[in-house]
Structures are given as structure tokens and as C-alpha cells.
Amino acid sequence: MRKTLLALGAVIALLFGFAAPASAYEPVNIVHTERVQAGPYGLTVGFSTWPLRAMQSLDFTFIPDGGIGPKTGTLSLFNPATGRYQRPQPLARHPRKRDVWGLDIRALPTEGSWKFRFAINGPQGQGTGELANLRVLEQPGPPMGLSWAISGLPLIALAAFLAIAWRRTRAPLRGGGTPAAA
């Protein structure tokens, strides 16, 4: 009985030890904000990195005045590369900042002038608003093709090494003979 209780206590301790993994993540640091008026609702859009760059992961937070409370909403992103809005997505709680809506570790794929369109439903009715002219700069670092080419060099070198090693170990067997016994 004592061993069973000890094992049960160990299992419970492990469950509670791993039950709060969110505390292991760093908090969302907002370094820049913009204001949007979506009908009767004021909305603060926060960015964890400023200025924005293409292909750079960052957090977005969307904080309506008075909290998210009974409100719901959608977000549509205008991609300047395609010239159209993406399909609206529901505004969900940020995974690491649960009291606001947000996008976690999202990257905007292209540079240009992006737009965020919000549609919010709440006690005061429906409202839409837009954050226009959100300037996204070019991707930091070398171009993506060059980055992939450089990162692929070790794989190519490994394949060449294995091919040479395979050919050298197979060479004594080509004549149909068997390797010499020691």
C-alpha cells in the first residue's frame, strides 16, 4: 500500500509539474502600437517588433477598448503581392497573453503596404475598421534562395563523401573475387 501511495504521489507531482507549460514561454513585449476605430469600438493593434520586415516572425495583439468581453471579431489581411484580401479569420485569444486577441509568431510573407481589416460584433452592434498603409520592409538577411543554397552545402558534401566511400569499399569486389582473408 505504501508503494502505491508513493507512486500515486509521484504521478500527481509530475502532472502538476508539467501542467503549466505556458509559464516557460517569454511574455509578449509590445514595442509599437497603432489605433484603429472599428465602428463604435476602439482597437489598439500591438507589434512585438518594429519596424516590420517581411518573413520575420512577430506577435500581433489586438486590444479592444473595454476588453474582449462579449465581443467577437474577424481579421482580414490585404497582401500587396496578390492585390487582394485574404479570407477573414476569427479573432482568437493570444496564446501567451490570454486577455487580448492576437496572432502568435506570425510572419508577413512579402514587403509592401499591408492592410488589416477588422470586423467586430459586440453589445453596441457591428463595426468595421482598417489599419491601412502598414509598411513592411524587405526581408532581413540574404535572399531566401541564397540562404537555402548555403544551408544545403553540407548535405551535398555529405552525399559526395558517402558516394566516394561507397565506391572505394566496392572497388576490390568488382573483379568478382572475394576480399582477402587476414
Q: CATH number, domain at 48?
A: 2.60.40
Domain-embedded: residue 98: yes
pLDDT of 3: 83
Domain-embedded: residue 32: yes
pLDDT of 166: 92
Question: What number of other Cβ atoms are within 10 A of residue 101's Cβ?
Answer: 24
pLDDT of 8: 78
Single-letter amino acid, residue 14: L
Domain-embedded: residue 112: yes
Domain-embedded: residue 143: no
Domain-embedded: residue 87: yes
Cell 566511400 appears where? 165
b (16+ CB within 10 A) / e for 105-128: eeebeebbebebbbbbebeeeebb
Domain-embedded: residue 122: yes
pLDDT of 161: 94
Low-confidence ranges of the chain (pLDDT < 70): 15, 17-26, 171-182
Domain-embedded: residue 41: yes
Domain-embedded: residue 105: yes
pTM: 0.68
Domain hosting 34: range is 23-137
Q: How many domains does the chain have?
A: 1
